[in-house]
Structures are given as C-alpha cells and as structure tokens.
Amino acid sequence: MESANRDTSVVLRKIFRLFLFAAVVIGSSIPLFGQSYGINCDTTCGGSTVEPRASINEARGLGSMISPANHVGSATIVEGSQSFTYTVPLFNLQGRNNLNLPLNLYYNSAVWAGYTFNSDHDNPSPGFRLDFGYIDNQVGLLTEPSGGKHALAATGTNASLLFSSDSSYIQMAEKPNTVAGSPFVATFKNGLQTTYTYIGGYLYSKKLVQ
C-alpha cells in the first residue's frame, strides 16, 4: 500500500511539472529557445557594464566558489546578495558519466542590478529563466541557466580565447567557419561543451555535447 502511494505521488508531481511547463510556454509570447527572442531590457536600459552584474552583491543562481549559497530543498539563498532562487525541475535527460541534461524553470527575486531592471534579460519574463544560458559578448559575461554569472576575459594575445576568473574554469573560444555568424564554444570544467550562436544580438546556447 505504501509503495502504491509513493508511485501515485511521483506521478502527480510529474503531471504538475508538465502542466507548469505548458503554462509557461503557452503564456509566453517569446519562443522557448530563441527563434525570435524579444529582449526585455537591452543596453538602452543601462546595466551594460560587466562589473555590477557579475559582482557578489548582484549574484544570482545557485552559488559559486566566490558566492557561497545556502540550499534548503528547492530554494537557494546566495550569501552577500539579496538573491533568492527557487528551482522547478521539468525534465532530465540521462547522459554518460552523470552528465545529464536537465531543463529547469528558475525563479529569482533579484530583478534589479543597481538602478537597472532585468539587466540579465530573463526569459520568459523578469525573474524567471527557462533556457540553457546565454553570453553577452559585448561585455564578456556568461549567464548560466540558473542565472549565475561568470565574467570572461582574454588572458593572452589571442582575443578569441576567453577564460573565466572566478575559479569556475570556463573557457570560451570562437570557432570561425564559412557561415556568417561564427559560433562560440564554451568548455566547462566537467567536460560539457556548449555551442552558442547569435540570436538578436546575444549568444544563445544551441548545442550541448558531453
């Protein structure tokens, strides 16, 4: 009997997540993965400099080496900021060596960076993120799906090879090709490689390889 109740509870949770996912997709007029992204706040709103958005005071997401966080269930509070993040898992595709591909809906309360509203270009609406991250190449800032940010900068003479400076060990390189809009590939310390292409002036994730 207890086993049947547990199975029923799992099914109900999955159904709830599917309904939540459908509600977000249907309720948003912006396509999910950036076929024609409408940016909620661009450089005309300010916040175009990397320092305030990447600082500890403006930290979002699930924490990092320089921004420790407290995790309680699905909620995360980043120390040193006013960031509160709540995670709603939608689905998780199993991968090799535990390199899974999850799609989560993230809510974050920090929608202001100084005097700038929604400078992180949340989608489908301010405070909510439902994507696989993007890069603001104008200021060298990588934003994770959870909203966590990593400043990228060149450390040598090769301006097309960028590295993160917050002990996250992210490397981004431009991959020139014959097609207009050369893709950028970011390699993370767990071996995941994400390919980004320009959509509406920003680099959005297009392909993930384990």
pLDDT of residue 31: 40
What is residue 57's DSSP assignment? G
Burial 64-73 (b: 16+ CB within 10 A, else e): beebebeeee
pLDDT of residue 50: 54
Whether a cis peptide bond, with omega within 30° of 0, leads into 145 is: no
Q: Are strands 124-125 and 128-129 parallel, antiparallel or unpaired?
A: antiparallel
pLDDT of residue 153: 86
pLDDT of residue 87: 92
Per domain, the residue ranges of the chain are 2-209
What is residue 198's DSSP assignment? E
- Total-model pTM: 0.69
pLDDT of residue 8: 58
pLDDT of residue 157: 77
Contact 206, 195 (CB under 8 A): yes
The one-digit pLDDT tens for each residue of the chain (210 residues) are 555 555 556 555 655 565 555 555 444 434 444 443 444 444 444 444 555 666 667 778 777 777 777 888 888 888 777 788 999 999 888 877 777 888 899 999 888 877 788 888 888 889 999 989 998 888 888 998 888 888 888 887 777 788 888 888 999 888 766 455 568 899 998 888 899 888 878 888 888 887
Residue 203 makes CB contacts below 8 A (sequence gap 6+) with 134, 135, 136, 137, 184, 196, 197
